């Protein structure tokens, strides 16, 4: 189980109803996390991943910040998630 | 009927009261495009070095270009003159003045001289009249707008005007229009005030004919597609077109990007960031969307109202990205309503928000360090956190009216620090005497370089890509095919000095092109920052001028070099292209980002000048570059004045 | 019978509709052309912009396909809609309900930006929401 800080910006906060949260998950990759969040917040996944091919929507931005480091835009859906990382969804 | 190849200039001499309509040489349209590009050429030609910025020889240019009046112009208007500090003062603003001016048969206004009493200029089609404005002098922006509207009665007359701050020559005042739009924060409003010109009103009855309507229509639809408005994957519309850029206060906080307490720290309390972000703004205060002429975004501008609490009844508009940042964390103020009212005060009095915010922040730091006391501040407890809200708001009024302590602050924090001394110069966040904007430097070396070298003083709008796009969108090979040689991965690394000079060069050139069409840079998203073909096609179909793509790009480089030539002719050199003292000497707390020390900065300056073909020693453009651009007259002018132009 | 209808409080005053319409017949962008099918009335103090439709809804040049007048296609906020009176009334109710949920819809119509994200059924460029085609 890892703990993540999830931050929802602008229109994303419309889907979630909240600006940010601390979230515990067993998801090991960004792809898995998006699937989980889609269960909680209907329509979440489709903002970031195309419904046809499943690839990352390059018109949206997910910043991934490992603990103690600077945030960078996520490129790989299969990249692992670290405990205490922060993700900003935009 | 306007032919978009030939551009007209209305020359107004306020000393003699005479006006004259002329044409600009037709060849200039292909060489400098229009709008900002033509202004750069005119400034160099017509405002001699050493001219008193507040004197009759300074010329105030207000103009637009061949694409204005078509839907791609988006209302853009450029204002330009010599700034009170001697730099180029060029800025752009939106609204509806530009299209109306073009429909009146005029592309540029060149205003020189000085009226003997307050006046306003009334332009109706190609006829102009200088009218008495004594009843408008001293009026705030909304009052001026309302009085002019009543006097001229037609609801479609468009205005540009200044507030009391411009009238009182407050150092960094912009020109305003359509109430909350402004441009020329380097002091165009103060220069307009020095000429006793309160306002300009225009009404046109003509139309704009593009050279190839079918081609233009196709190019316009292609442009909309590239921008991504209205497609099924259009995530962008609500992000930038509705919530807007103020949401970045939440993005930058983790990146060491939020200047807090006069940039003593670069990180603010996260809850406070959430409190002043675009989400609560849109939910609680926005009442309606507003837009510039033909903008494809729904709500880049918005009107807002405070419906309860101590500021109940306050109404205003246009909360740009930087405003919550400079009236928020910079002053350690997390009251969004106070931010809205402070921005509103600046708009009403005709003040530049950055001048006010950074000067207040400087004064607060001085106060907390005992350099300024209540004896200096007219009794105001001027601390970070703004404990005395009414006092701070009144201080903003006093800055515009030059009253009491406000008179010191009206000079800007650079001059104020020189007068106060006692080490306070170290916390004046200025470059070339002008206050910064809101983008952090020590975590992004392109920003550090860009604000330092900009010819108007720190101005990120002359190169900063508002929507750079996802790193996965472009590869180096794609850029190469477009004729842009850059290593994107190095360019994207914030604290890697490599490649920054080259990428800044590219962004400065491409931005100069978009602003010279004109069109709005806020629509430059993703690949449009590197691929200017859509703009090129719009230019060709609108004007009928066939221009090689490389020549189109070269026009932007010409504009950049003219600006630099004007700057060096006024005596600015490499030593003026430097970061503020704080950024050059202090590491960033918490994040540990290093200061922008001399070896680091020198390296980036060398790269930038080298890439541009400018002297590494002085920053003066070199002969081979000026000749390559067809600017031999600039070489001759500089040499005639005894300046060294290296081969 | 389908007409161009107006949801006034969504109009942001951009005049894309008026400017573009004026050019469709003549090739000239002249918003004061008396034969333009739509014009924007600007209230004093920039407080409100009101579209006035002077057209019967049969667009002389629909750039997005026959079923959508150009002005409606280009309107960035969704202030212009094209349908019969019942359909427009349903849009007003939809807007009211959406506004109760999210401040975003003060400035943008839900039919201009499908929310929440739904799977495209007709391919790129058209999205269905609640069975109503945009």
Whether residue C117 and residue A43 make contact (CB cut-off 8 A), yes or no, is yes
What pLDDT does B49 receive? 96
Tens digits of residue pLDDT in B333-354: 999 999 999 999 999 999 999 9
DSSP 8-state class, residue B622? P
Mean pLDDT of chain B: 94
> Could you say which of B234, B250, B526 has the minimum Cβ distance to residue A9?
B250
Greater model confidence, B580 or B241: B580
- Cα atoms found within 13 Å of the Cα of residue B590, Cβ hemisphere only: 17
What is the C-alpha separation between B358 and B582, in angstroms, rounded? 13
User: Considering only CB atoms, which chain A residues are within 8 Å of C101?
Assistant: 14
What pLDDT does C116 receive? 64
Greater model confidence, B184 or B529: B184
Where chain C has pLDDT below 70, the residues are 115-134
Whether residue C104 and residue A47 make contact (CB cut-off 8 A), yes or no, is no
The nearest CA of chain A is from the CA of B331 a distance in Å of 24
What pLDDT does B230 receive? 66
Q: Is C116 on the interface with A (CB under 8 A)?
A: yes
What is the C-alpha separation between B191 and B162, in angstroms, rounded? 10
Whether residue C103 and residue B210 make contact (CB cut-off 8 A), yes or no, is no
Query: Which two structure tokens, joined as six digits, stand for B322?
Result: 């930087």
User: Considering only CB atoms, which chain A residues are within 8 Å of C115?
Assistant: 11, 14, 43
- The pLDDT of residue B646 is above 60: yes
Whether residue B279 and residue A10 make contact (CB cut-off 8 A), yes or no, is yes
What ipTM score was computed for the predicted complex, to two decimals?
A: 0.93
Question: Residues with Cβ < 8 Å from C60, sequence gap 6 or more?
Answer: C24, C25
Closest-approach residue (CA) in chain B for C127: B232
Q: Which residues of A touch C (CB under 8 A)?
A: 11, 14-15, 42-43, 46-47, 51
Mutate to test the interface with B, among C45, C46, C102 (most CBs of B within 10 A): C46
Average pLDDT over residues B29-35: 97
Whether residue C112 and residue B230 make contact (CB cut-off 8 A), yes or no, is yes
φ/ψ of B312, rounded to 5, equals: -55, 135
- Provide the strand spans (E) within B306-433: 315-317, 430-431
What pLDDT does C119 receive? 45
Tens digits of residue pLDDT in B226-238: 888 765 456 677 7
User: Considering only CB atoms, which chain B residues are within 8 Å of A90?
Assistant: 239, 247, 251
How far are the Cα atoms of A3, A8, B248, B367, C133 from residue A21, in angstroms, in the given order?
Answer: 10, 9, 18, 38, 35
User: Considering only CB atoms, which chain C residues are within 8 Å of A15?
Assistant: 116-117
Can you spell out the DSSP letters for B289-311? EE--TT-SSS-SEEEEE--SSTT
What pLDDT does C134 receive? 26
User: Considering only CB atoms, which chain C residues are within 8 Å of B4?
Assistant: none
pLDDT in tens, chain A (90 residues): 899 999 999 889 988 989 999 999 999 999 999 999 999 998 899 889 887 788 888 888 899 999 988 888 898 999 999 999 999 998
Chains that contact A by 3+ CB pairs under 8 Å? B, C
Tens digits of residue pLDDT in B441-490: 999 999 999 999 999 999 999 999 887 777 778 888 888 988 889 998 89
Whether residue A88 and residue B254 make contact (CB cut-off 8 A), yes or no, is yes
What is the C-alpha separation between B130 and B314, in angstroms, rounded? 35
Spatial contact of B621 and B613, defined as CB atoms under 8 Å apart:
yes
Closest-approach residue (CA) in chain C for A45: C117
Domain of residue A19 covers: 2-89
End-to-end CA distance of chain B: 46
Q: Counting one residue from A and one from C, how many pairs have CB atoms under 8 Å apart? A: 20
> Could you say which of C104, C118, C120 has the minimum Cβ distance to residue A14?
C104
> Could you say which of C14, C27, C33 has the minimum Cβ distance to residue B209?
C27
Number of structural domains (chain A) is 1
Q: Is C123 on the interface with A (CB under 8 A)?
A: no
The candidate with the shortest Cα–Cα distance to B76, out of B58, B59, B101, is B101
Whether residue C102 and residue A46 make contact (CB cut-off 8 A), yes or no, is no
What pLDDT does C126 receive? 29
CATH number at residue A39: 3.10.20.30
Closest-approach residue (CA) in chain B for C118: B232
Cα torsion at B559, B623, B186, B357 (round to 10°)?
Answer: 110
The nearest CA of chain A is from the CA of C123 a distance in Å of 11
Whether residue A46 and residue C118 make contact (CB cut-off 8 A), yes or no, is yes
SS3 B587: coil
Tens digits of residue pLDDT in B59-84: 999 999 999 999 999 999 999 999 99
User: Using 50, 70 and 90 to split pLDDT, how confident is the model at B313?
Assistant: very high
Whether residue B71 and residue C44 make contact (CB cut-off 8 A), yes or no, is no
Closest-approach residue (CA) in chain A for C117: A43
H/E segment holding residue A32 = helix A30-40
Pairing state of beta strands A20-25 and B158-161? unpaired
Q: Is A87 on the interface with B (CB under 8 A)?
A: no
How far are the Cα atoms of B347, B420, C97, C105, C112 from residue C101, in angstroms, in the given order?
Answer: 32, 53, 7, 9, 16
Pairing state of beta strands B208-209 and B2-3? parallel
What is the C-alpha separation between B23 and B312, in angstroms, rounded? 51
Average pLDDT over residues B574-583: 97
> How many CB atoms are closer than 10 A to CB B597?
13
Tens digits of residue pLDDT in B388-434: 999 999 999 999 999 999 999 999 999 999 999 999 999 999 999 99
Spatial contact of B591 and B266, defined as CB atoms under 8 Å apart:
yes
Structural domains of chain C sorted by starting position, each given as residue range(s) with its CATH number in brackets:
3-102 (3.30.70.20)
User: Considering only CB atoms, which chain A residues are within 8 Å of B255?
Assistant: 70-71
pTM of the model: 0.95
What distance separates the 2 farthest-apart alpha carbons in chain C? Answer: 44
Question: Residues with Cβ < 8 Å from B645, sequence gap 6 or more?
Answer: B620, B621, B622, B623, B626, B635, B638, B639
User: Considering only CB atoms, which chain B residues are within 8 Å of C45?
Assistant: 142, 145-146, 149, 179
Q: Is B236 on the interface with A (CB under 8 A)?
A: yes
H/E segment holding residue B109 = strand B108-112
Mutate to test the interface with A, among B225, B232, B233 (most CBs of A within 10 A): B233
The nearest CA of chain A is from the CA of B298 a distance in Å of 14
Chains that contact C by 3+ CB pairs under 8 Å? A, B
Average pLDDT over residues B590-603: 95
Closest-approach residue (CA) in chain C for B215: C27
């Amino acid at each position: 189980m890892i703990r993540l800080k999830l931050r929802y910006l602008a229109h994303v906060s419309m889907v979630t109803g909240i600006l940010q949260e601390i979230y515990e998950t067993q998801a090991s990759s960004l792809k898995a996390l998006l699937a989980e969040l889609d269960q909680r917040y209907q329509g979440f996944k489709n903002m970031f991943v195309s419904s046809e091919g499943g690839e990352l929507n390059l018109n949206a931005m997910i910043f991934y910040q490992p603990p103690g480091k600077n945030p960078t835009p996520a490129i790989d859906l299969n990249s692992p998630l670290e405990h205490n990382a922060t993700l900003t969804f935009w | 009927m306007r032919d978009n190849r030939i551009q007209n200039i209305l020359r107004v001499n306020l000393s003699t009261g005479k006006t004259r309509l002329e044409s600009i040489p037709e060849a200039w349209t292909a060489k400098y495009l229009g709008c900002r590009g033509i202004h750069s050429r005119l400034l160099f030609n017509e405002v001699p070095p050493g001219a008193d910025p507040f004197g009759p020889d300074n010329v105030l240019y207000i103009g637009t270009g061949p694409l204005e009046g078509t839907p791609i112009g988006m209302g853009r208007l450029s204002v330009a003159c010599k700034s009170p500090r001697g730099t180029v003062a060029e800025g752009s603003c939106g609204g509806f003045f530009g299209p109306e001016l073009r429909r009146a048969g005029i592309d540029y206004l060149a205003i020189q001289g000085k009226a003997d009493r307050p006046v306003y200029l009334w332009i109706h089609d190609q006829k102009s009249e200088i009218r008495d404005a004594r009843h408008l002098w001293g009026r705030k922006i909304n009052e001026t707008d309302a009085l002019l509207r009543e006097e001229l009665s037609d609801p479609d007359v468009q205005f540009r005007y200044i507030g009391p701050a411009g009238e009182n020559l407050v150092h960094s005042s912009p020109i305003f229009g359509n109430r909350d739009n402004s441009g020329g924060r380097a002091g165009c409003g103060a220069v307009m005030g020095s000429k006793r010109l309160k306002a300009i009103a225009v009404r046109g009855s003509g139309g704009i004919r593009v050279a190839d309507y079918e081609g233009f229509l196709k190019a316009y639809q292609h442009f909309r597609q590239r921008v991504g408005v209205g497609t099924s994957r259009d995530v962008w519309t609500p992000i930038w077109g509705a919530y807007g850029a103020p949401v970045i206060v939440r993005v930058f906080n983790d990146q060491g990007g939020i200047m807090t307490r006069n940039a003593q720290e670069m990180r603010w309390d996260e809850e406070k960031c959430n409190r002043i972000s675009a989400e609560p703004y849109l939910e609680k205060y926005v009442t309606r969307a507003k837009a510039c002429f033909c903008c494809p975004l729904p709500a880049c501008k918005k009107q807002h109202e405070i419906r309860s609490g101590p500021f109940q009844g306050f109404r205003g508009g246009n909360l740009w990205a930087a405003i919550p940042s400079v009236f928020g964390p910079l002053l350690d103020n997390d009251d969004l309503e106070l931010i809205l009212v402070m921005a509103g005060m600046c708009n009403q009095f005709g003040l530049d928000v950055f001048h006010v915010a950074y000067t207040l922040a400087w004064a607060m730091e001085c106060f907390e360090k005992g350099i300024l006391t209540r004896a200096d501040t007219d009794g105001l407890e001027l601390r970070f956190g703004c404990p005395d809200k009414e006092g701070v708001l009144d201080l903003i009024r006093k800055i515009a009216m030059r009253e009491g302590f406000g008179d010191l602050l009206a000079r800007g924090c650079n001059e104020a620090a020189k007068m106060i001394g006692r080490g306070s110069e170290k916390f004046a966040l200025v470059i070339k005497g002008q206050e910064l904007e809101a983008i952090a430097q020590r975590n992004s070396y392109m920003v550090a370089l860009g604000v330092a070298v900009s010819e108007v003083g720190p101005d990120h709008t002359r190169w900063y890509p508002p929507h750079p796009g996802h790193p996965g969108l472009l590869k180096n090979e794609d850029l190469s095919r477009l004729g842009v040689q850059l290593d994107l991965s190095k360019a994207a690394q914030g604290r890697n000095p490599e490649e920054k000079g080259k990428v800044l060069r590219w962004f400065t050139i491409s931005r100069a092109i978009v602003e010279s069409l004109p069109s709005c840079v806020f629509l430059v998203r993703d690949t449009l920052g590197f691929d200017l073909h859509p703009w090129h096609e719009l230019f060709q179909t609108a004007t009928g001028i066939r221009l090689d793509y490389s020549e189109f790009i070269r026009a932007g480089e010409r504009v950049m070099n003219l600006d630099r030539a004007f700057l060096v002719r006024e005596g600015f050199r490499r030593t003026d292209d430097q970061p503020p003292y704080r950024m050059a000497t202090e590491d960033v707390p918490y994040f540990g980002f290093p200061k922008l020390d001399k070896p680091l900065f020198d390296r980036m300056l060398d790269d930038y000048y080298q890439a541009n073909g400018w002297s590494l020693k002085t920053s003066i453009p070199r002969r081979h570059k000026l000749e390559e651009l067809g600017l031999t007259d600039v070489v001759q002018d500089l040499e005639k004045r005894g300046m060294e132009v290296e081969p | 019978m389908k007409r161009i209808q107006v949801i006034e409080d969504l109009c942001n005053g951009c005049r894309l509709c008026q400017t573009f319409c004026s050019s469709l017949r003549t090739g000239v962008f002249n918003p004061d052309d008396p034969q333009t099918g739509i014009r924007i009335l600007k209230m004093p103090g920039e407080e409100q912009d009101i579209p006035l439709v002077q057209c019967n809804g049969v667009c002389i040049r629909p750039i997005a396909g026959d079923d959508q007048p150009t002005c409606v296609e280009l309107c960035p906020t969704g202030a212009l809609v094209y349908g019969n009176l019942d359909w427009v009334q349903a849009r007003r109710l939809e807007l009211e309900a959406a506004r109760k949920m999210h401040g975003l819809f003060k400035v943008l119509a839900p039919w201009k930006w499908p929310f929440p994200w739904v799977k495209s059924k007709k391919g790129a460029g058209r999205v269905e929401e609640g069975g109503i085609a945009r």
